[in-house]
Amino acid sequence: MLDVTVIENPEAAAASLDPMRARLLAELAEPMSATALAARVGLPRQKVNYHLRALERHGLVELVGERRKGNMTERLMRATAASYVISPLALASVQPDPDRHRDALSARWLLALAARLVRDVGALITGAARADKRLATFALDGEVRFASAADRAAFIEELTAGVGALVRKYHDAESEGGRGHRVVIAVHPSLKAEPEAAAEPERDVPGEIES
């Protein structure tokens, strides 16, 4: 079972978003028969089998074993991943386009960049899996508490300058054997345990630096 996988097919996305099928996926973190699953979720076994066939057809669950029970053979099914992320490719005609309107201080541009990140990395994971190759990526996650809006603005200014200097230092447009890499850096307020009703104004949310 994978830790996380990206759903790119619209039909598979629709199947995963069905409330009952989503619950079945959660229950199938461990192998289970349709009979045991039916008892867990309170549905007839035939109905559970119907949902499992749809999920299996889209690669969201898989057969991991069989066992005899009386005069019948039970199929043991398991989810193919612990978690699923739906790629914007599943809504190809309306997927966000961060190149349409670039605004480093817009939360919506940040969201469009995040959507493209999911789309691109998902496609790269799929390609790497088919080629049986390791995908070279790097991610950094952290949190900083600013004493004031002025400190946050100063941080963004230094971050922009620092990343820009690194890009200028290492970017080689002439290298024949080189491969382009996308750099995306995001800064946004941390979510509170109980979010306040009023959100912070969008223009106050620092966006991203992209090269």
* Cβ count within 10 A of residue 58: 17
pTM: 0.75
The pLDDT value given to residue 196: 53
Sign, CA dihedral 175-178-182-185, equals: negative
pLDDT at site 187: 93
- The predicted-structure confidence for 176-206, as pLDDT tens digits, reads as follows 889 999 999 999 999 887 655 555 554 444 4
Q: Quick one: pLDDT at residue 208?
A: 45
Taking 70 as the threshold, does the pLDDT of residue 71 lie above it? yes
Q: How far apart are CA 175 and CA 89, in angstroms?
A: 31
Give mean pLDDT, residues 120-124: 91
Q: For 86-98, what is each residue's pLDDT tens digit?
A: 999 898 888 888 9
